[in-house]
Amino acid sequence: MSGIHLHWYLPTNGDSREIVGSGDDSHLAGGPSRSAFREANLDYLELIAKTAETLGFEAVLTPTGTWCEDAWITTAALSQVTKRLKFLVAFRPGLISPTLVAHQAATFQRISGGRLLLNVVTGGDPLEQRRFGDHLGHDQRYERTGEFLEILRGVVSPTKSEKRFDFEGKHYHIEGAQIDIGKWPLPQIFFGGASSAAQEVAARHVDTYLVWGESPAAEAGRVAHVRELAAAHGRNLSFGIRLHVISRDSEAEAWREAERLLEKLTPERIANAQAILARTESHGQHRMNALHGGGEIAALTAPRVRDLEVSPHLWAGYGLVRGGAGTAIVGSHEQVAALIEEYHAIGFDHFILSGQPHVEEAYHFGEGAFAILRSRGLLAT
């Protein structure tokens, strides 16, 4: 087993001391008050990126969608004001040519000194997909993603006997393509999806399979299954998990912060957000929604913060109003580090973490649980 890779998050949809929604139309759900909201301008994103770099995070993940800034442009700009930090750029493969992505990746590697990682997001919200002219169904989208990834690898490394790459598939017809990636290899490919169609794509084509955080017991079974699928194709994957964190000097302090976040969520905002999230075709989002009963907790007369603790120190409060990753590790620095170690023992090497606001929370985690993991020699070098 390799060491732990710790990554942070770049909130290109804005930041706050409250929970900011993430996903299509999240702004309609009644987000944080304007006085508490931090715009995702370049100066603020630079501050987060430099904070992550200073604290020792390996990379930052950027989201993708019409509700946030474009990931390619934003991270290309930030690569010029950082030195070591890598950028995990999320994009939707059905909305862009695989040859063009290879070209963009090659350019990014050259201008950043090889600091690009790729996060392939097939897409799960049918309304968002149709805005870009994509009308394929769920399984067809993953079928297309598989072809996309085969082409992406092919155009940067054609066979020795063929100097150009050709491909004829159901969704793509490529002739004579070749992209010079330069002295760097094709960036590591991260990819997530909870459906069987997604897992088959992961097994055949990607480097790191990503999940949104569920209990260690649930994730252990998923890791074992995808590992078996990859082995059937003669491949070996690494695994990553996406989580929020609330890491404090004491457990009581951490739960007080989670309670404060919960108190800021009105029943109306939860109901609006859940209506938006319910329309998804994403199997992973359905799993996140199920952790809190689709927002049913908000119907309680006096909801308690620990009613949303779905596994020891794993809190589903974020998922009440936020799409995508909906769980947070909550606890003392020792407890947060211990749960990360538990996930690592299952097979997770990459931890993509976040906490709001992203500057302050990076320091809470960086000077706490991060430092503990480093002191135990668990981090990848």
Residue 128: in which H helix or E strand, if any?
helix 126-131
Task: Quote the pLDDT of residue 297.
Answer: 60
Alpha-carbon 89 to chain mean position = 10
Distance in angstroms (rounded) separating the CA atoms of residues 363 and 247: 10
Strongest mean pLDDT among 121-130, 167-176, 235-244, 286-295? 235-244
Query: Which is higher by pLDDT, 30 or 219?
Result: 219
pLDDT band at 67 (very low <50, low <70, confident <90, very high): confident
Q: E strand or H helix at 173, and its extent?
A: strand 173-177
Q: CA-based Rg of the chain, rounded to a whole angstrom? A: 20
Residue 203: its pLDDT value, please?
A: 96
Residue 213 lies in a domain: yes
**Residue 90 included in any domain:** yes
Percent of the chain at pLDDT > 70 equals 91
Q: Where are the alpha helices (DSSP H) in 158-195?
A: none
Which one is predicted more confidently, 66 or 40?
Answer: 40
Tens digit of each residue's pLDDT (9 = 90 or more) over 156-167: 986 555 678 999
Q: Give a yes or no: residue 170 inside a domain.
A: yes
Identify the pLDDT of residue 97. Answer: 94
pLDDT in tens, 9-52: 999 999 999 999 875 444 445 567 666 799 999 999 999 999 99
**Distance in angstroms (rounded) separating the CA atoms of residues 75 and 315:** 30
DSSP letter for each residue of 112-123:
HTS-EEEEE---
Say which CATH number the domain at 30 has.
Answer: 3.20.20.30
Average model confidence (pLDDT) across the chain:
90
What pLDDT digit, counting tens, does each position of 79-114 carry?
999 999 999 999 999 888 999 999 999 999 999 999
C-alpha dist (Å) from residue 180 to 116, 185, 231: 15, 10, 30
- The answer to whether residue 265 sits within a structural domain is yes
Pairing of β 5-9 and β 59-62: parallel
Residue 174 domain-assigned? yes
Is residue 293 one of the residues assigned to a domain? Answer: yes
Q: How confident is the model at residue 182 (pLDDT cuts 50, 70, 90)?
A: confident
Identity of the residue numbered 354: S
**CA 4, 375, 363, 381: dihedral to nearest 10 degrees?**
-40
Q: Is the pLDDT of residue 272 over 90?
A: no
Closest C-alpha to 175, from 99, 102, 105: 99
- Is 187 part of a structural domain of the chain? yes
pLDDT confidence of residue 163? 78
Query: Averaged over 60-78, what is the pLDDT?
Result: 94
Phi-psi region for residue 266, left (φ > 0), alpha (ψ -120 to 50) or beta? beta
The secondary structure element, H or E, covering residue 241 is strand 238-248
Q: What are residue 265's phi and psi, to 5 degrees?
A: -95, 110
Q: Kindly state the helix (H) or strand (E) to which residue 269 belongs, with its residue range.
A: helix 267-277
The whole-number average pLDDT for the span 139-160 is 87
Number of domains comprising the chain: 1
User: Is residue 153 pLDDT above 90, yes or no?
Assistant: yes
Q: Is residue 381 part of a domain?
A: no
Q: Give the pair of three-digit tokens for residue 349.
A: 């090497």
Tell me what pLDDT residue 351 has.
Answer: 98
**Residue 119: domain span:** 5-375
What pLDDT score does 285 carry? 76
**According to the model, what pLDDT value does residue 213 have?**
94
